[in-house]
Amino acid sequence: MKKFMAAWSIFMMMGMLSHAEAGFFSFRGEFEADDTVQLFNFTLNSTSNVTLQSFGYGGGVQADGNVVSAGGFDPILYLFDSSGNVIDFNDDGGFPAVNFDPTTGSSYDVYMEILGLAAGDYIVALSQYDNFLNGGLGGNLSDGFAFTGDPEFTQKFTGNSSGKFWDVDGFARNGEFAFDIIGVDSASLQSVPEPSSLALVTLGLASAGVIRRKRRNQANA
First to last CA, the chain: 44
The tens digit of pLDDT for each residue in 105-150 reads 999 999 999 999 999 999 999 999 999 999 999 999 999 999 999 9
The tens digit of pLDDT for each residue in 148-175 reads 999 999 999 998 888 999 999 999 999 9
43 contacts: CB under 8 Å, gap ≥ 6: 120, 121, 122, 184, 185, 186, 187, 212
- For the entire predicted model, the pTM comes to 0.81
Q: How confident is the model at residue 21 (pLDDT cuts 50, 70, 90)?
A: low
The tens digit of pLDDT for each residue in 64-85 reads 999 999 999 999 999 999 999 9
> Domains in the chain and their CATH numbers?
11-220 (2.60.120.380)
Q: How far is CA 129 from the centre of its chain?
A: 12
